[in-house]
Chains A and B, each alone.
Chain A
Amino acid sequence: MKKLSLVLVIALALCALPIAARAEGTLTVYNWYDYIDESVLDDFTAETGIKVDYVMFTTVEEMYVKMTTGGGKYDIIVPSDYIIERLIKDDMLTPMDFEKMPNAKANLLDNMWTADYDVGNLYSVPYMWGTVGILYNTEYVDEEITSWSSLFDPQYKRDVFMLDSIRDTMGVTLKFLGYNLNERSEEALGKVRDLLIKQKQDGIVQGYLVDEVKDKMVGGEAAMAVMWSGDAMYAIEDNDSLVYVVPEEGSNVWIDALCIPKTSENAEAAMKFIDFLCREDIAQRNYDYIHYCSPIRQVVEGLDEEEAANPAVNPSQEIIARCDFFHDIMDYMDVYNKYWMEIRS
C-alpha cells in the first residue's frame, strides 16, 4: 500500500513538470492552420532573438476549448470576432498598448478600429479579415450564381461542399431564409436544420469539410463550396475557372485578430510580435501567402487592378454593407449544438 501511494505521488509530480519547464524568451503563438508565411517567424527570431513556438488549430471553437481548459499556455492567440467578444467579457485578455506598437498604430486601416466586438481595439489587433461566400467552378456551372439558393438546387447532385463549422454553415442558411445571422429562436434553427437535412437527403452535399475543401475545389471535385474568402482566393490562384461570390441575401463578415491571453507572462514580447506582423513588408508577405483581406493600409493600396476588382480580396462597400459580424451567443450555443448534431448525424 505504501508503495502504491509513493507511485501515486511520483505520478502527480511528473504531471506537474511540463509547466515548470518553459524557456524564457519564447513566444507561443496559437494560430489557424495555413494562416501565416512561416518564414516570417524566422525573421522575427533573427531580428529580436525571441524564439517562436508556433502551434495551430482548425476551428476557433477548438482554440477556445484548449485555451480555457488550460490545455496549453499561449502568448498570442488569433480568435475571431465573436470569440474575442466572449474573451473580453470573461476578462481573459491583456489590454493592448499601442504606444509599444507604432506600426500597428500607423498602418491599420481606419475601419479596422471600429468593429463592434472591440471598438478602438482595446484588447485585439486585426490580423486578417474576410467574408463567407460561394466559390464555384464555371466549368460545371453555366449560370451566374448570386444566391445561397444554388446550394440547395437539386441539379447540383454531389456537387456542393459545406463548411464543417457550426456558426458559418448555420449562419449562411439563416441568412438565406431571411433571418438574422445571430438568430436566437428554435423556430428559425429548426427550419435551418430541416433545410440542411433535406439538402443532404437530396444528395446535393458531397461533404462537410474545412481545410481539405480548397484543394478539392482546385482539383475540380465539386461545382461549388461554401468558403471563406481567403481560401477561395487561394483556390482561384491555382484554378482560373473558379469564381468567388458573396450572395445577395448577405453573409458574414469577420475579423481574426491578435490577442494576448491574461495568462501570458510575455506580454511585452507578444506586443513586439504583433507590431512586427503589422509592419508593411511583413503584412505584405503574409498577404501574398494566405490571400485574406489585409487590415494594413499599404497592402490594400498596393493591390493590382485585377486583385482590387476581386470581391474575395477587396470586397466593395456594397458587399460589406449586406454582411454582419457574428456575435457571441455562448448562452444559446447549446441549442445550436443540438441542431448541429441532428444535421450532421
Chain B
Amino acid sequence: MKRSFFSGPYALWMIMFTIFPIVFVALYAFQDNTGAFTIDNITRCFEGTYMKVLWRSVKLALECTVLCVLLGYPCAYFLASKDFSKYKTLFVLILLPMWMNFLLRTYASMSLLERNGIINAIVTALGFDRWNMIGTEGAVLYGMVYNYLPFMVLPIHTSLKKMDQRVIEAAQDLGANPARVFLKVTLPLSMSGVISGITMVFMPSVTTFAISKLLGSGNFMLMGDVIENQYMVANDWSFGSSLSLFMTVLILISIGLLNRLDTNKSERSDNW
C-alpha cells in the first residue's frame, strides 16, 4: 500500500504525457474531419507518395544506425579499456555536444556544409573544386550520425565497463588470441549495450524532421516532415495522426524484433 503511494506521481505523469496523447492520436487516426469513424486515413498511409518517404526514412535511419555502431563501438571500447581510464576528459568530450541544443548544433553544421561554408573554404584554399554537401542525403546522414552517436557510445561503454575482467583473463589464460577473446567473449557480453544503443539511435532517427529540413535544405521529406506538414500546413490532423500511429506500430515491431534478438543472444552466451 505504502509503496504504491510513491508510484502515484509516476502514474499521473504516464497518464498525462503518454497514455492521453496516444489515445488522442489513435482517436484522430480513425476519424474523418466530421468526427465519423473511418479507416480511409489508415489506407492512405500505403499510397505511393508516403511509401516512398517511409522507405527513405527507414533507409536513412538504418544507415545512420549502422554508421553509429561502426563508429561508436570502437570509441566505447577504447574509452572503456584500461589505457584510457585515466582520461576522463575524453568521455566528457563525447557528452559535451549533448549539453547544447540540437537545433543550434544543426544550424552550426549547416554553415559548415554550405557552398561558401567553412569546409568548402578549406577545400578551395587547397586548390580543389567545391564540394556539393548541403541539401544532399549525405548531409542529412551526417547530421543524424553526429546528433545520435552519443546514444550509441554510452550504453556500449556502460556494458563494457561493467563486464567482469576475470572472464577475459580466463579466456587469455586458456590460450585465446586477442581477436578470439574479442569475438567470443567481449563482443557477446557487450551485445546488450549494442542492442540498446541501436534502439536509442534508430528510433529518433526514423522520426527525425528538423535535421532533414536544415541540412537537406527541404529537398528530402522524411516521415517526420510529412507528419509535421499534415499538422501544420495541410491541417489534416486525422491523417497526421494515422501516419504517427503507423510509425509507432512500425517502431514497436522493430523493438520487439530487437528484444528477441537480445534474449536469444544472452541465452546463448549464458550457455556458452
Contact = CB atoms under 8 A, between A and B. Distances in A.
Contacts of B137: none
Contact of A62 (B50, B132, B219, B232): B232
Contacts of A15: 16
A7 B20 CA distance: 13
Contacts of B214: 212
Contacts of A65: 231-232, 235
A209 B16 contact: no
A345 B114 contact: no
Nearest to A336: B234
A11 B221 contact: no
Nearest to B49: A345
B49 A219 contact: no
Given A158-B132, A337-B236, A341-B229, A207 B12 contact: no
A249 interface: no
Interface string B9-32: 001100110001000000000000
B188 interface: no
B122 to A, nearest CB: 17
Nearest to B54: A345
A216 B214 CA distance: 12
Contacts of B232: 59, 61-62, 65
A173 B223 CA distance: 26
Interface in B232-248: 232-237
B114 A337 contact: no
Contacts of A37: none
A207 B114 contact: no
Nearest to A161: B217
Contacts of A205: 219
A345 B234 CA distance: 14
Contacts of B49: 341-342, 345
B35 interface: no
B11 A164 contact: no
B184 interface: no
- Counting contact residues on chain A (CB < 8 A from B), the size range is 35 or more
Contacts of B229: 341, 344
B49 to A, nearest CB: 5
Nearest to B232: A62
Contacts of B114: 216, 219, 221
Contacts, number: 84
B116 interface: yes
A345 B54 CA distance: 10
Contact of A345 (B4, B50, B134, B213): B50
A142 B138 CA distance: 31
Given A207-B135, A221-B116, A337-B234, A7 B52 contact: no
Give the one of B4, B114, B132, B232 with max A CB within 10 A: B232
B226 A341 contact: yes
Interface in A132-162: 158, 161
B43 to A, nearest CB: 15
Contacts of B50: 345
A247 to B, nearest CB: 22
A10 B135 contact: no
Nearest to A65: B235
B265 interface: no
Contacts of A8: 15
Nearest to A10: B12
B175 interface: no
Contacts of B132: 158
Contact of B15 (A7, A208, A344): A7
A64 B234 CA distance: 10
A171 to B, nearest CB: 15
Interface in B107-124: 110, 114-116
Contact of A61 (B12, B16, B20, B235): B235
Interface in B89-146: 110, 114-116, 132, 134-135
A22 interface: no
B233 A337 contact: yes
Contacts of B52: 345
Contact of A206 (B135, B234, B237): B135
Contacts of A340: 233-234
Given A11-B20, A61-B234, A212-B110, 9 more contacts: A4-B11, A7-B11, A7-B15, A164-B218, A207-B218, A208-B217, A209-B217, A219-B114, A341-B234
Interface of B: 4, 8, 11-12, 15-16, 20, 49-50, 52-53, 110, 114-116, 132, 134-135, 213-214, 216-219, 221, 226, 229, 231-237
17 contacts: A7-B12, A14-B16, A59-B232, A65-B235, A69-B237, A158-B132, A158-B135, A205-B219, A206-B134, A207-B135, A207-B216, A207-B218, A207-B219, A208-B217, A212-B110, A219-B116, A345-B49
Interface of A: 3-4, 7-8, 10-11, 14-15, 59, 61-62, 64-65, 69, 158, 161, 164, 166, 200, 205-209, 212, 216, 219-222, 333, 337, 340-342, 344-345
A-B residue pairs, 8 tightest by C-beta? A207-B217, A208-B218, A337-B234, A62-B232, A61-B233, A11-B16, A207-B135, A345-B49
